[in-house]
Amino acid sequence: MKNISAGKWDEKFKIFLKKYYWNEILQLANEYPDQRSLLVDFSDLEMFDRELADELLENPDDVIPSAKQALQQIDLPIDALLDDATVQFIKIPNKVPIRDIRSVHLLKFLAIEGMVRKATDVRPKVLIAAYKCLRCEHIVYIPQAGKKLFEPFECENETCGKKGPFEMLVRESTQIDAQRLQIQESPENLKGGTQPQSLDMDVEGALVGHATPGTRVIVNGTLRSILRITKEGKSPFYDIYLQANSIEYIDTEFSEIEITPEEEEEILKLSRDPQIYDHIVKSIAPSIYGYEDIKEALALQLFSGVPKHLPDGSRIRGDIHILLVGDPGIAKSQLLRYMVKLAPRGVFASGKSASSSGLTATAVKDDFGDGRWTLEAGALVMADMGIAAIDEMDKMRTEDKSSLHEAMEQQTISVAKAGILATLRSRCALLGAANPKYGRFDRYEGIAPQINMEPALMSRFDLIFVLMDIPDKERDLKIAEHIVKAHHAGEMSEQRLLIPGTMITKEDVDSEMQVVMPHINPEIMRKYIAYAKKNVVPVLEEDARKHLIDFYMNLRVKGEGKDAPVPVTARQLEALVRISEASARVRLSNVATLEDAKRTTKITLSCLKQVGIDPDTGAFDVDVLTSGTSKSQRTKIKIMKDIIRNVASRHSGGKAPLEEVYVEAEAEKIDREHAESLIDKMKRTGDLLMPDPTHVRII
Ligand code: ADP
Ligand code: MG
């Protein structure tokens, strides 16, 4: 095996390591070979010798082997040989955003921060291949670099010199564990919904196998290039990747969002304003008119409840999941997009997105072109510790739907495919939007069957809002005025910007912009939210707890008695607690008071009214949500069926004339309009056939 020739920096490194890292080296020697690497903080190196530190950043290919050599050759007081130990440098100041990488960075030592999006299996890779000449049995060692395996050209044994054949000897070759990762820019570092960019990483030795998709990391390493090979041959374009020297794991929430003392002052001042809830609501999607109750709920989602860790190792989520379902064209998608921009960490995805990783995670083969299985994180994993906005949830793929259950409640995503067993974290709040199956909502029907989504999934949302586009003169006019005003303000601003001689003044623009201006500047708002989530941990006061329990019990009571619908489930009680905590966080208060509890029940009630209400009796009924049909409706459908059967039995061919059915329905206190809608519904569910416009037949 060839030895690395002595580098120019070896002696300096020996002095440095002895002086700064003697204890760590002794510890390494004790634990070697279970532990094989020495972590060196860049600032220590800088303190020791500035020139050497700079040299590391500029010429890592000279410096890192020197450091390694020095470590391996240090005289140890104990009988140990660190013949395979490496030096890993951490806390590198050369942090380069992935999108700013340019050719000047090639062969430099860089720190790349982001999230692991894909990770391949760990597989051995040949470092030095041993070949035996089958003619003379001479063994030749060939160091391997690059993508292709290098084989000997001719036997180096002078007396032989033949061109093979050669046999590769696995036992005599040197292998290393290798893995490929793809790092993508973290959502919080992207401004206003730009597409994240990514960079591949080569990871070897002790570094492999730790980073799962969704993990936040800083990878320090050397930027390398390989020529792209196309069908036509070598292309002048390079593909770049980072050869990792060390990986730092970051798991603190919002560590990236820096809040200056002045900003903290401003945040504290805002939090003391009695109007803070109003300000925050008016800072969410101001260009969208109305929906105050939804915006209030969205505000609370941004702040979120407190995640809890129980002694049995389980974790209760603090994230508030919200679903918006409704007619098309009523600004659902707009609200989602706005939230993603506002959240300190937001990821937007569409349920029918073409991305191969889907919403959760998938294992795909050969993604890096080397035949290995790759685990790839989807939107919910990438939104870990943030908000995932998923539009068109009704159009999700079936695999995504089934893994959403776990993602929403346990906040993990398990992948078991092709020998890959992994649990990825998805501690995020889900904001979903869905359109009704038949284009528009039918008010006489429960929402579940009108949305292409399982009841069990629906019940995992803390709040569900139903947005119906019902013509309403007064409201329509207000929306129209609001939209036109927003456009008008925009037009004025653009004209002022683009046409030099315009009469429009800045004051004109500002006064017009007033209506669509967020009360709190979005940049400060993001910081406010990050500050609250980091520093505020509210505890529910006694009367707040009592209020929530009373509210819950009250709704449950309505479910007692033989025929009454069951109103609420325990899931809703948990939701109430989370929303109250979020409400306290808005004020930066560590106590959730009765006021917070009341705000919670107000919002919940407005939701339940839209969702869990039985369209016939007006009573709360979670059955409407979970099975899609309320109890009274189920009974009515049953009555209608009986009537139709009855009428049909009096006629030939099992056909019941509609007129007769309506008359009998009337006798059962189902008026004509209602009977029509029930028949419509039965037709859609396939319980009923209409052989001609005047007859129906039970199937
Ligand atoms: P959806 O996703 O619900 O189908 P979109 O979010 O795509 O609807 O909205 C359609 C358009 O209508 C958007 O440009 C939106 O701004 C506008 N719009 C709808 N309702 C409102 C409203 N209440 N205020 C302002 N704009 C609205
Ligand atoms: Mg939409």
Q: What is the pLDDT of residues 423-462, one digit of tens each?
A: 888 889 999 998 887 777 766 566 666 777 777 788 888 8
Q: Please give the pLDDT value at position 539.
A: 94
Task: Find, among 553, 563, 565, 568, the residue nearest to 619 by Cα.
Answer: 565
Report which protein residue has its CA nearest ligand 1's atom 6: 331
Is the beta carbon of 483 within 6 A of some atom in ligand 1? Answer: yes
Is the beta carbon of 331 within 6 A of some atom in ligand 1? Answer: yes
Residue 247: pLDDT band with limits 50, 70, 90 = very high
Q: What is the pLDDT of residues 180-192, one digit of tens each?
A: 888 988 776 665 5
Q: Is the pLDDT of residue 345 over 90?
A: no
Domain 98-111+121-213+222-249: give its CATH code: 2.20.28.10
Percent of the chain surpassing pLDDT 70 = 87
CB of 548 within 8 A of CB of 573?
yes
Query: Which atom of ligand 1 lies nearest, measured to the CA of 332?
Result: 3
Q: Please give the pLDDT value at position 564.
A: 41
Q: What is the rounded average pLDDT for all residues in the chain? A: 82
Is the beta carbon of 559 within 6 A of some atom in ligand 1? Answer: no
Q: Please give the pLDDT value at position 497.
A: 84
Is the beta carbon of 485 within 6 A of some atom in ligand 1? Answer: no
Is the beta carbon of 691 within 6 A of some atom in ligand 1? Answer: no
Q: What is the pLDDT of residues 408-429, one digit of tens each?
A: 888 888 877 766 677 888 889 9
Q: What is the mean pLDDT of residues 229-240?
A: 77
Is the beta carbon of 334 within 6 A of some atom in ligand 1? Answer: yes
Ligand nearest to the CA of 350: 2
Q: Is the pLDDT of residue 633 over 70?
A: no
Over the range 572-589, which residues count as b (16 or more CB within 10 Å of their CB) and which as e?
Answer: bbebbbbbbbbbbbbbbb
What is the C-alpha separation between 350 and 434, in angstroms, rounded? 10
CB of 556 within 8 A of CB of 562?
no
Q: Which CATH class name applies to 537-621?
A: mainly alpha
Report which protein residue has its CA nearest ligand 1's atom 17: 331
The residue with greater pLDDT, 81 or 44, is: 44
Q: Please give the pLDDT value at position 448.
A: 62
Q: Please give the pLDDT value at position 604.
A: 86
Q: What is the mean pLDDT of residues 38-44?
A: 91
User: Tokens representing 18?
Assistant: 């002895």
Q: What is the mean pLDDT of residues 196-210?
A: 86
Q: What is the pLDDT of residues 251-283, one digit of tens each?
A: 665 556 788 899 999 999 999 999 999 999 999
CB of 430 within 8 A of CB of 131?
no
Report which protein residue has its CA nearest ligand 1's atom 20: 330
| Residue 434 alpha carbon to ligand 2 centre in Å | 8
Range in 68-82, 483-497, 529-543 with the lowest mean pLDDT:
68-82
Bridge partner list, 167 = 132
User: What is the dihedral sign for C-alpha 409, 411, 416, 422?
Assistant: negative
Give the start-to-end residue ranges of the domains of the chain. 2-90, 98-111+121-213+222-249, 261-473, 474-515, 537-621, 631-698
Q: What is the pLDDT of residues 568-600, one digit of tens each?
A: 577 788 899 999 999 999 999 999 999 999 999
Who's near 356: CB < 8 A, 6+ residues apart?
A: 362, 364, 376
Q: What is the mean pLDDT of residues 115-134?
A: 84
Q: What is the pLDDT of residues 370-397, one digit of tens each?
A: 667 778 888 888 888 889 999 988 888 7
| Residue 625 alpha carbon to ligand 1 centre in Å | 25
Q: Is 364 exposed, middle or buried (0-12, 13-18, 19+ CB in 10 A)?
A: middle
Ligand nearest to the CA of 467: 1
Q: Please give the pLDDT value at position 189.
A: 64
| Residue 332 alpha carbon to ligand 1 centre in Å | 7
Give the mutation target among 330, 339, 431, 465 for probing the ligand 1 site: most ligand atoms within 8 A of CB. 330
Ligand nearest to the CA of 440: 1
Specify the length of the chain in residues. 699
Range in 434-443, 531-540, 654-663 with the lowest mean pLDDT:
434-443
Q: Please give the pLDDT value at position 3.
A: 44
Q: Is the pLDDT of residue 566 over 50?
A: no
Q: Please give the pLDDT value at position 478.
A: 87
The residue with greater pLDDT, 147 or 577, is: 577
Who's near 76: CB < 8 A, 6+ residues apart?
A: 25, 26, 29, 82
The residue with greater pLDDT, 556 or 112, is: 112
Percent of the chain surpassing pLDDT 90 = 21
Query: Which atom of ligand 1 lies nearest, measured to the CA of 290?
Result: 23
Ligand nearest to the CA of 480: 1
Q: Is the pLDDT of residue 532 over 60?
A: yes
Range in 39-53, 269-283, 371-385, 645-659 with the lowest mean pLDDT:
371-385
Query: Which atom of ligand 1 lies nearest, measured to the CA of 289?
Result: 24
What is the C-alpha separation between 263 and 526, in angstroms, rounded? 11
Task: Find, among 408, 410, 411, the residue nearest to 456 by Cα.
Answer: 408
Report which protein residue has its CA nearest ligand 1's atom 26: 288
Q: Is the pLDDT of residue 32 over 70?
A: yes
Q: Please give the pLDDT value at position 677.
A: 81
Give the mutation target among 334, 335, 431, 441 for probing the ligand 1 site: most ligand atoms within 8 A of CB. 334
Chain centroid offset of residue 159 CA: 64
What is the C-alpha separation between 300 and 293, in angstroms, rounded? 11
Q: Is the pLDDT of residue 74 over 50?
A: yes
Query: Which atom of ligand 1 lies nearest, measured to the CA of 337?
Result: 6
Neighbours of 265 (CB within 10 A): 11
Q: Is the pLDDT of residue 121 over 60?
A: yes
Task: Find, among 626, 644, 552, 539, the residue nearest to 590 by Cα.
Answer: 539
CB of 120 within 8 A of CB of 71?
no
User: Tokens representing 346?
Assistant: 């937001």
The residue with greater pLDDT, 3 or 423, is: 423
Is the beta carbon of 482 within 6 A of some atom in ligand 1? Answer: yes
Q: Please give the pLDDT value at position 475.
A: 83
Q: Which residues have CB atoms below 5 A from the ion given as ligand 2?
A: 333
CB of 326 within 8 A of CB of 391?
no
The residue with greater pLDDT, 355 or 463, is: 463
Query: Which atom of ligand 1 lies nearest, measured to the CA of 334?
Result: 6
Q: Which long-range contacts (CB under 8 A, 24 or more apart) does 510-519 make?
A: 512/485, 512/488, 513/489, 515/286, 515/482, 515/485, 515/486, 515/489, 516/286, 516/287, 516/485, 516/486, 516/489, 517/286, 518/282, 518/283, 518/284, 518/286, 519/278, 519/279, 519/280, 519/282, 519/283, 519/286
Name the helix (H) or strand (E) containing 399.
helix 398-409
Range in 188-202, 227-241, 527-541, 581-595 with the lowest mean pLDDT:
188-202
Domain 631-698: give its CATH code: 1.10.10.10
User: What is the dihedral sign for C-alpha 282, 285, 291, 297?
Assistant: negative
Which CATH architecture group holds 2-90?
Answer: 2-Layer Sandwich (3.30)
Is the beta carbon of 328 within 6 A of some atom in ligand 1? Answer: yes
Q: What is the mean pLDDT of residues 53-72?
A: 90
Task: Find, among 396, 397, 379, the residue nearest to 388 by Cα.
Answer: 379
The residue with greater pLDDT, 481 or 137, is: 481
Q: Please give the pLDDT value at position 537.
A: 93
Residue 563: pLDDT band with limits 50, 70, 90 = very low
Q: What CATH fold (topology level) applies to the domain 261-473?
A: Rossmann fold (3.40.50)
Query: Which atom of ligand 1 lies nearest, measured to the CA of 326?
Result: 3
Q: Is the pLDDT of residue 54 over 50?
A: yes
The residue with greater pLDDT, 614 or 154, is: 154
Q: Please give the pLDDT value at position 253.
A: 58
Q: Please give the pLDDT value at position 1.
A: 38
Over the range 159-179, which residues count as b (16 or more CB within 10 Å of their CB) and which as e?
Answer: eeeeeeebeeeeeebeeeebb
Q: Is the pLDDT of residue 201 over 70?
A: yes
Report which protein residue has its CA nearest ligand 1's atom 15: 331
Residue 10: pLDDT band with limits 50, 70, 90 = confident
Is the beta carbon of 439 within 6 A of some atom in ligand 1? Answer: no
Q: What is the pLDDT of residues 310-334, one digit of tens each?
A: 888 888 899 999 999 888 888 999 9
What is the C-alpha separation between 117 and 358, in angstroms, rounded? 12
Per DSSP bridges, beta strands 322-326 and 429-434 are: parallel
| Residue 339 alpha carbon to ligand 2 centre in Å | 14
537-621 shares the fold of 261-473: no
Is the beta carbon of 333 within 6 A of some atom in ligand 1? Answer: yes
CB of 181 within 8 A of CB of 203?
yes
Is the beta carbon of 329 within 6 A of some atom in ligand 1? Answer: yes
| Residue 331 alpha carbon to ligand 1 centre in Å | 3
